[in-house]
Amino acid sequence: MTVENSAVSGETFGQTDDILRAEHISKRYGAVTALVDVNLRLGRGEVLGLIGDNGAGKSTLLKTICGFQPPTTGRILLNGEEVHFSSVTQARAAGIDIVYQDLALVNQLTVYQNMFLNRELVRWPLLRNRSMRKRAKEQLDSIGISTLKSVDVEVASLSGGQRQAIAVARSVFSDAKVLLLDEPLAAMGVKEGAAILDLVRDLKDQGISIIIIAHNYGQVFPVCDRVNLLQGGKITFDKYSKDTSVEELTNIVVSEYRKALEERHRRTAAS
């Protein structure tokens, strides 16, 4: 089946068995309009790559899905049912978990304390520190990020890549059915990045549905089943990976960049 640019034709949007749908989402921050009538869908067990320039609205879109902030208009459907999350905790309980771009780890806590933040293991009235420590170590080892010396160090002392790995590991072991990853590779070296991409593949094999935002789309393209491009708060491109290529995406991004440059030249010439 060939699918044309279905953000325009709506072809893939006709699917009915999606795990997640965001329909007619718009988001305004005062005078700033971050999202305009966005329709986004995520199939069951699908990995969707969400790409676009800085300020395109990618993070805003994920934040409206995960309960961090409500959309100004539009609705979210999970398993075909409309949901209204008033917090990230509520969304998490429903099976949607997010790794933010701006990570949300607590610097003053240790690695294992962060891994079990808000879901501490307790044998009332005591925290089961030893179990949490052991499990945190096993979980981090199992995802192949073993550059950490100890799970007892404070997160503040770690590199950006290590912090990112912990944030990803935390949501991976949260029993989420839908995982939203906002630039999980941003601060990572090549090896750490590859480990995270392997992890995405494993999660997909376990049936977890994933949206992954990536600035470096060439890097994530191989793990994506489908790609959406967000430009100026609108989805302008929606294709299955098999029907597009890194070259096609590059051409679109480069022409967007050229247009912005020309626009700037025109403005400086006029002034």
25 in contact with ligand ADP (CB under 6 A): no
C-alpha distances out from residue 178 to 47, 51, 155, 168, 207, Å: 10, 18, 26, 13, 9
C-alpha distances out from residue 226 to 200, 239, 245, 266, Å: 14, 6, 11, 36
Q: Tell me which of ligand ADP, Mg ion, none is bound by residue 164, counting a contact when its beta carbon lies within the kind-specific cut-off of 5 to 8 angstroms.
A: none
55 in contact with ligand ADP (CB under 6 A): yes
CB of 153 to ligand ADP, least distance (A): 30
C-alpha distances out from residue 125 to 156, 198, 231, 256, Å: 28, 38, 51, 57
49 in contact with ligand ADP (CB under 6 A): no
Q: Which of 2, 16, 54, 268 binds ligand ADP (CB under 6 A)?
A: 54
Q: Which of 60, 113, 209, 228 binds ligand ADP (CB under 6 A)?
A: 60
Could you tell me if 183 and 101 are in contact, meaning their C-beta atoms sit under 8 angstroms apart? Answer: yes
- Contact letters (x/-) for Mg ion, 52-71, by CB under 5 A? ------xx------------
Could you tell me if 179 and 91 are in contact, meaning their C-beta atoms sit under 8 angstroms apart? Answer: no
164 in contact with Mg ion (CB under 5 A): no
102 in contact with ligand ADP (CB under 6 A): no
Report d(CA 157, CA 68) in Å as an integer.
27
Contact positions toward ligand ADP, by CB under 6 A?
29, 32, 34, 52, 54-60
The contact set with Mg ion (CB under 5 A) reads: 58-59, 101
